[in-house]
Amino acid sequence: MNGVKFLFENFLKDKRVYVLNQNYWAHHLGKAITSDKVESENWYRNEFANGVKIYDGNPIYSLLIRPNKSIRIIQEEPESNAPEITAWIQQTEGHKRNKIEELVISLELSELTKELTLELVRKWADKDTGASNMEALIAAKLEALGKN
């Protein structure tokens, strides 16, 4: 993969690696966002109606944060020759909420994409960061990576 060291490369093929990957995200996001800002971890229930877990990486990890924001990390299987990441803000609803602004990050996990994800997550968790500010930050960061 031309110099990009991907983490948890086989996470979609091995449930044990998938769970280790989820724990990796929980650990790093737990360090990036103070617990007083987190309302609920694994906000998206990634399972079928019968309770069977879905191991597809969408999301690999999610959080509901105060006030009325969420974070969803979608992890894709590594297929690129360069770090792949994109992010956007969207409106969503759920869990007795009418409107939640959601930061969605889709990536192939490498050290570089992890660090950028954590930077975006920390900024989004700041109660003073609105959607337009976040979209501008995302655009600047992705442009610096040559993704826009």
Distance of CA 92 to the CA centre of its chain: 15
Query: Each residue of 37-63: pLDDT tens digit?
Result: 998 888 788 888 898 999 999 999 999
Domain boundaries, the chain: 15-144
Q: What is the pLDDT of residues 61-119, one digit of tens each?
A: 999 998 889 999 999 999 988 889 999 999 987 666 678 999 999 999 999 999 999 99
Q: pLDDT at position 1, please?
A: 44
Of residues 83 and 129, more confidence is placed in 129
**Cβ(35)–Cβ(112) under 8 Å?**
no
The token pair at 102 is 């959601």
CB 94 within 8 A of CB 69: no
Amino acid present at 51: G
C-beta of residue 7 within 8 angstroms of C-beta of residue 22: no
The pLDDT score that the predictor gives to residue 97 is 63
